[in-house]
Amino acid sequence: MAAAIQAVTDRGMSKRQAAKYFNIPRQTLCDHISGKTAPNKPQGRPPALPLEVETGVVKNVLDCAEKGFPLTRRGVLHKVGMCTVNY
């Protein structure tokens, strides 16, 4: 992304050419050049659960699987509910 932005701003390459050359969607490149989107900002919505809670859920699910009780989707959702009570 940084190389594409530099090609447009410093070397005078068109946005369309830079998008094609660097294999980046043109609108995404335009958004980054105009400042609409920060270059290092992660895209998408933030995680719903903190990393500690997610790690705890994974640990619980893997422990159950090791003990011979693999969980279904419903069981995993139940474990998530139990781990998020304190959250």
Q: What is the pLDDT of residues 43-60, one digit of tens each?
A: 788 888 888 888 888 998
Whether 30 contacts 15, CB under 8 Å: yes
| 3 state DSSP class of 39 | coil
Supply the angle between the helices 15-22 and 2-9 in degrees, to the nearest 10: 150
Report percent pLDDT > 70 for the chain. 97
Contacts of 42 (CB under 8 A, 6+ apart): none
- Contact criterion met (CB below 8 Å) for 33 and 5: yes
Residue pair 28/5 in contact by the 8 Å Cβ criterion: no
Q: How confident is the model over 23-47, as pLDDT tens digits?
A: 999 999 999 999 888 777 777 888 8
